[in-house]
Amino acid sequence: MKTSIQIEVRPTEIDVMGHVNNAKYLEYMEWSREDWYNCTGLPFDVFTEMGVGTVTVNININYRKEAKLGQKLTISTEPIRKGRTSFVLKHEIYNEQNQLVADAEVTCCTIDLKARKSVPLPKELAAHFA
């Protein structure tokens, strides 16, 4: 399932170069990732009830085009592959002209919340990967 959210670039997200600070793109993607979890029926509290958490272990991001104050951006999230204890989500950010602003692959790992060690993906999460 592919999901997307829309945001408007705020003044606090702009750096001295007059465009969105690179770290903010990671926040945008995190917001979209949380929306993806919610839309798949796996919000934070469901994982907690299973005794499982997800942690980000790697991000490979490409900055393609600058975004500026007031622009409306669409951030999408979709599952692309899974392993035994990890999975990869793809994010894309587009501007109002449908130009790719940034894209990333984010690798997450599922962990046992008490032991703080990796565990196999719960079947509820694994089911969302082809």
| Active site positions, annotated | 15
- Pairing of the two strands 3-8 and 72-82: antiparallel
- The partner residues of 91 in beta bridges, in order of sequence, read 77, 104
Cβ contact 108:86 at 8 Å? yes
Cα–Cα distances (Å) from 107 to 6, 65, 67, 70, in that order, read 22, 23, 25, 30
Beta strand segments in the chain, E: 3-8, 52-63, 72-82, 86-94, 100-112
